[in-house]
Amino acid sequence: MKELSTRALRQQSSALIIAGGFGARFWPAARAGRPKPLFSLNGRTSLLDDTIARMQPLIAPERIFVLVPSELEDVFAGAVRDRIPRANLLLEPERRGTAVAIAYGCAIIKSRLGEGLIAVVPADHYIHPAAAFRHTMAAGLRLAARRNSDGSIVIIGVPPTRPDTGYGYLETGARLQGGFKVRKFVEKPALTAARSMLRSGKFLWNAGMFLMSTATLESELARHCPRLLAALPTLVSQAEGWEQLYKGLKFDSFDYEVIEKSRNVAAVRAAFSWNDVGSWDGLWQTLRDGAGNALSGTVVAMDSKQVLARGDGRRLMVLLGVEDLVVVDTPDALLVVSRGRTQDVKQVVKELRRRRLTGYL
């Protein structure tokens, strides 16, 4: 199959940005009314802003869609204003996991734009530089188009920089023109296994980005999630009872329901730096300077190292003689946690809810 030109790729490709995560591990910066995709790394633009911006000009704004929970419609409507058409903000009646979200969002895009290629990406990852991201994305979309007759979904694999036990991995297989087959997936391995995979050079991080044609997606859903596929016409048309039908769909993640079961998954190697920014420690990994600190706001760090500190600009924060800490100051809450325990911040959210301190959520 002849390779798509840049112009043809732009005309045939769309993007579905999934922005449903609350981001409990980023409390107190992330709240119910200010979820993780609206979090800012630089104090100027949000993670969602950055995600939309780096898709362009590969994908035009009118072909970029953002899927969010319906209860956050007003919050996200303001966030995407002047970035994409208001009609491209798609609403989920209730969070039902990425398998349902991706199937629903892609079905709506197909109903509006017809058959084509769709890049499904999370709204809340750190990626740099944007030009390298677009280069990788274009290669993946071309591979998805080339292998359409074989029903392949293309995913992006990121070269690992450390033996991280919180990420999913994929093993590279036979080479393809522009990419390679995926041999297998390993989800959140033990540290010894992660070290072994890193040494082998055969494994990449699964960045949770999926590139596919609408026909390929429907074919895979027919094999692995036929009940979900059967529900899509009702969901897209929003016929009577569609919201209750949506809320009754019980499926796991897209990775588990489709990707890990499919025999037709290909991948391309990322040419960019990536971090899913899944916790405060992940943010520290991304933003730390030569001294090992990641500081923002009015913060003075003296004889301190391996620290992430974020002030809110209202008052001075001084750190003296400390290390391996995360300190986050907001107008109504202060978090101080060992950097090695940042995955447990979500337990704080549960505890606040148990104590009925919902005003801090």
- Cα separations (Å) of 248 from 235, 241, 299? 12, 11, 48
SS3 37: helix
Residue 86, pLDDT above cutoff 80 = yes
| 129-188 pLDDT per residue, tens | 999 999 999 999 999 988 554 568 999 999 999 998 888 999 999 999 889 999 999 998
Q: What is the mean pLDDT of residues 191-197?
A: 94
How far apart are the two ends of the chain, measured CA to CA in Å? 52
pTM, 2 dp: 0.91
CATH code of the domain occupying 6-275: 3.90.550.10
Domain ranges of the chain: 6-275, 280-360
Strand partners, 296: 310
**C-beta atoms surrounding 182 within 10 Å:** 26
pLDDT, residue 178, reads 86
pLDDT on residue 88: 98
Average pLDDT, the chain: 92
* DSSP code of residue 49: H
